[in-house]
């Protein structure tokens, strides 16, 4: 479930504790067929980092001051975007797989 931001953007995953907030933008292997989607992911990461940082100055969001945003990929970042990621300071975590026996399921509520 994506986390809504005040700009009406939604970040894929947000982990928040009292002292740190980690945002995660996820790109599946489907993006391999659309390499520009990886570039989009790099810039989304920067945008989300700026938004979350701005939210630390608004008490309504109770956002910790330590903000980190990462781009998590099921595959690898294409070579043509590696320098861009480095120059922009985007942390990229590649080759992330979910083990089939650890699939996340959504519990249903009975009525």
The pTM for the full model equals 0.85
Indicate the average pLDDT of the chain.
90
pLDDT, average across residues 4-32: 95
106 inside domain: no
101 inside domain: no
Query: Token digits for 77?
Result: 């970042």
Question: What pLDDT score was predicted for residue 2?
Answer: 87
According to DSSP, the β-strands at 10-11 and 13-16 are unpaired
pLDDT tens string 20-51: 999 999 999 999 999 999 999 999 999 999 99
10 inside domain: yes
Q: How many domains does the chain have?
A: 1
Angle at 74 between CA 72 and CA 13, to 5 degrees: 40
> Is the CA virtual torsion 10, 11, 16, 21 positive or negative?
negative
Question: What pLDDT score was predicted for residue 103?
Answer: 55
Model confidence at 109: pLDDT above 70: no
HSE at residue 95, side-chain half, CA atoms within 13 A, is: 0
Model confidence at 72: pLDDT above 70: yes
- Domain residues for the domain of 88 are 3-96
> Is the CA virtual torsion 102, 91, 45, 51 positive or negative?
positive
């Amino acid at each position: 479930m994506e986390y809504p931001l005040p700009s009406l953007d939604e970040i894929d995953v947000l982990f928040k504790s009292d002292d740190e907030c980690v945002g995660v933008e996820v790109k599946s292997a489907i993006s391999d067929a659309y390499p520009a989607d990886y570039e989009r992911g790099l810039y989304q990461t920067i945008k989300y980092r700026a938004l979350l940082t701005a939210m630390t100055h608004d008490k309504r969001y109770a956002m910790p001051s330590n903000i980190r945003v990462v781009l998590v990929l099921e595959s690898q970042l294409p070579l043509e975007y590696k320098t861009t990621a480095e120059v922009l300071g985007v942390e990229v975590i590649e080759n992330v797989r979910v083990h089939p026996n650890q699939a996340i399921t959504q519990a249903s509520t009975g009525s």
